[in-house]
Amino acid sequence: MYDLIGDIHGYSIPLKRLLETLGYRESSGIWSHPDQRQVIFLGDFVDRGPHQVETVQIARAMVDAGTALAVMGNHEFNAVAWATPDPDNPGDHLRSHSDKNRGQHQAYLEQVGEGSELHREHIAWFKTLPLYLDLEGLRVVHACWHPSSIAALEGFLDERQRILPHAWPDLARKKGSGFEALETLLKGLEIPLPEGHKFHDKDGNPRHHIRTQWWELERLTYRDLAMVPAEAINDIPHTTIPEDVLPGYSGDKPLFVGHYWLTGTPKPLNRHIACLDYSIAGGHHRRNDPNKLCAYRWDGEQELTADNMVWVE
């Protein structure tokens, strides 16, 4: 059975405490469980936290030893794109080295040593991470299980859902044919607002698309599902979203995601979907709601329960 762990972002000390809480023990640098349980990491190992190199080291050693599986997060994708020269634009990279992008990635680059042999090893390992797992009893993806996007990415991935070497430029460029599908799996589902509607993001830029709480089953208006700054919510129409716009989820297998920086007491999003990102890298601790590194202890159940959520603060 599996123990699924959400976004770590370089917080290796809470990771080790969580592994111990789940019953794993470290020997010769590899964490394993006496009952042969496996961890599944949901991606986002790097950026933000104080011990990013050790975090990658722990996860990579477990995957190599067969005591864990892992999927790619948007931060691993960005790390590869940052380090990969753009074959069509000499001197540029697949992820622009802008001040904004460097600011998001600087802590990792400083800790790993940009351009070092260790940095190159990390990038090579990130490239081996699949975009999703569709296992016998459960599914795992970093941000959104979206069947049409998964179908659109088929030609870009190998048989183990890893990005093919030649596909990186097309997936990384905004005008690439696979870019939107990749963004949906790693960052979540965006949908267009009805014509004539817009809101402004936290930087004041006008936006005509909203990121959605795509897992909701009942409250299906644009305003109900919009993930926008609080001050912009009244700009979002309270009209019903067309049924063909949201993917839904069949619920035939439990699904685990990360990415969404949730707060509060961990619990599944609904009977079939759990998000395991509870903002371990969320900055200063909130007195009544400390940041958490969260896991789900899955024992084969079809319907998910809050009783199986495990976390450290």
Is residue 111 located within the same domain as residue 131? yes
Note the pLDDT of residue 78: 98
Strand partners, 298: 2
Note the pLDDT of residue 287: 58
Quote the CA–CA distance of 267 and 68 in Å, as a whole number: 23
The CA-CA-CA angle for residues 162, 163, 164, to 5°, reads: 110
Note the pLDDT of residue 253: 96
Is residue 75 located within the same domain as residue 166? yes
What's the structural domain count of the chain? 2
Domain that holds residue 84: 2-188+249-312
**Distance of CA 123 to CAs 29, 170, 301, Å?**
21, 18, 35
Is residue 173 located within the same domain as residue 91? yes
For residue 135, give the CATH number of its domain.
3.60.21.10
Is residue 148 located within the same domain as residue 14? yes
Beta-carbon count within 10 A of 52 CB: 25
Is residue 242 located within the same domain as residue 127? no
Is residue 110 located within the same domain as residue 173? yes
Q: Which of 56, 66, 74, 187 lies closest to 125, judged by CA?
A: 56
Q: What is the dihedral of CA 266, 269, 275, 278, to 10 degrees?
A: -30
Note the pLDDT of residue 76: 98
Is residue 224 located within the same domain as residue 75? no
Of the three residues 246, 269, 293, the one that is the final residue of a domain is 246
Is residue 122 located within the same domain as residue 175? yes
Q: What pTM, to 2 d.p., does this model score? A: 0.94
* Average pLDDT along the chain, 313 residues, taken 10 residues at a time: 98 98 97 98 97 98 98 98 94 94 96 98 98 97 95 96 97 92 95 91 84 81 90 92 80 95 95 96 69 97 98 96
Is residue 210 located within the same domain as residue 285? no
Note the pLDDT of residue 284: 54
Is residue 42 located within the same domain as residue 151? yes
